[in-house]
Chain A
Amino acid sequence: MKMALETEYSPDADRIMAVSLGPQHPGAGHFRIRLWLDGDYVVKALPDAGYVHRGEEKMGEYRNYIQNVPHLERPVILDSSNILFAYSLGVDELMNSKIPSRGQYLRVIMSEINRIISHMYFIAIQGLFLGHTTMITWCMGDRDFWIDLGERIAGARVTFAYIIPGGVRNDIPEFAIEKGLRTCDWFEKRMDEYEKIFYDNPMVHQRSDGVGVLSREEAVAFGATGTVARASGLALDVRKDEPYSSYQDFEFKTPVLTQGDSWARAYVALLDMRESVKIIRQALKRLPQGPVRLKLGPQPRVPAGEAYSRTEAARGEMSYYIVSDGSPRPYRLKIGVPSAKNLRALPHLLRNVHVADIPVIYWSLNYWPVEADR
């Protein structure tokens, strides 16, 4: 298989035009793609990331383990619980702490709520890029019901900072359980409407079927994760492969599609949300009693050692590698983010496509530049 970076082109050929797409563009905020075009076709595309590199990993080295919580959720603000989930699992592993089961369940509830919030944003913008205005107005509005639920539980609007080393920050209020169950019931009906108006829409099919096809072999070669891998027929799901926290207690499936095109990558998100609703409902109904967190104090002492932890975030596998030398601050903090893994497929997918297909393919990778740049 030939990768996109190896394709030969000659910049001297007068047919080829070099164009810069971004960083200011209605299809690629804080991200640039350098394009070489032959008429309406893309000859070569090189992504230029790094516009939002904020040095999270270096900053992690001069803050202690609790102070690291707020800034580590900012890279992927849509999915703030899942990125903290992986960090907390790593610190818990280093400290050898046993999290109470109510805390485990609340972690799962919050991370699934965040998965829905993230996917709703994803399909809303996918609808916008496909010229389907209904989807952005519906999804952006409905997403706020889930944000409200998260706000009732955690107290903040999008940056929940709920999952922390040692458990969760506070207990769930009683009325939030009832509200959560009601939101689940309403949302399942709502997702049927999404299928009717968006996924079964002939216009959407025409514009995204067979656009940006990533085959199963290519997905393996590029190391794709999450929605991108599952749309290409790879049943990758850390929740199933290596159950962390209390995921082994719940019944859910890993949705897998085989088309590998932009439509499938958007549809996997909807199937994911159906499973998330199932998990949230089971967890809210079977929520055990007891404490929700361990008492760690403001500056926990973490024994020397190293830990690798991973979770299934909305975009794919989120991993942390934490090295501790026994001091209050981490010696090294390495974040492995799914967006950066999926970006590798972009130069390959943007080859020999029409310019009009670029936004659809770009966004269907569920790429979030802030997360990829860290």
Chain B
Amino acid sequence: MVVAERQKAGTFQVLVGKIDEVLQYAIGDPLRYLANWGRLYSLWPVHLETACCSVEVGAAAGSRFDIERFGTLEAFGSLRACDLIIVMGTVTRKLAPRLKLIYDQMAEPKWVIAMGACSITGGLYFDSYNVLRGIDDIIPVDVYVPGCPPRAEALIQGIVLLQEKIRRMPTLSGR
């Protein structure tokens, strides 16, 4: 008797699981796809210039390279509305706590691009007393754009790679 009830409950759970799976295929996947598609063409970067790579970001936002074609807007003031940090170069010991603070204030989902050799490994300043050897010790990095400074085309490629990552994001809520 008890066994039969258990079997009945088991089949019910399996049924629920099946329905869940069907719903996931029917609604969840298109919804996730739609949300990710919306996210990837409207990346709002934080205006955080950390060092000299900001010149190349300026050039990339200019009329020749025009990064807006690829769905990244101009740098924006409010952190709450932003979902992308482009760390433009060297992060010093004085700036590092600020970078963490800024990252923590942003709303999920959020992504980080480490631009330039300095933000990846310390670059030319690897033996300086005041420079962090890469930012991945303090915040997680999604895309690395190497160069010193990277050309504007390299930054655009980094953005496109990040969009590819966002397109394949498995969950609706981010990370």
Contact = CB atoms under 8 A, between A and B. Distances in A.
Contacts of B98: 23-24, 51
A24 B46 contact: yes
A296 interface: no
B46 A58 contact: no
A141 interface: yes
Interface residues of A, number: 37
Nearest to A77: B52
Interface string A103-137: 00000000000000000010011000000000011
A75 to B, nearest CB: 8
A77 B147 CA distance: 14
A51 B47 contact: no
- Give the secondary structure class of B's interface: loop
Of A58, A59, A70, which is in contact with the most chain B CB atoms at under 10 Å from its CB?
A59
Contact of A26 (B54, B76, B90): B76
Interface stretch (B35-43, B120-128, B156-164): B120-128
A141 B90 contact: no
A58 B130 CA distance: 11
Contacts, number: 102
A370 B63 contact: no
Interface residues of B, number: 36
Nearest to A32: B98
A54 B90 contact: yes
B52 A23 contact: no
Given A23-B48, A158-B56, A77 B149 contact: yes
Interface in A45-103: 50-55, 58-59, 62, 70-71, 74-75, 77-78
Interface of A: 23-26, 29-30, 50-55, 58-59, 62, 70-71, 74-75, 77-78, 121, 124-125, 136-141, 143-144, 147, 157-159, 370
Interface of B: 46-52, 54-56, 58-59, 61-64, 75-77, 79, 90, 92, 94-95, 98, 102, 124-125, 127-131, 148-149, 151
In the A-B complex, the 4 residue pairs with the closest CB atoms: A140-B62, A29-B49, A141-B63, A77-B52
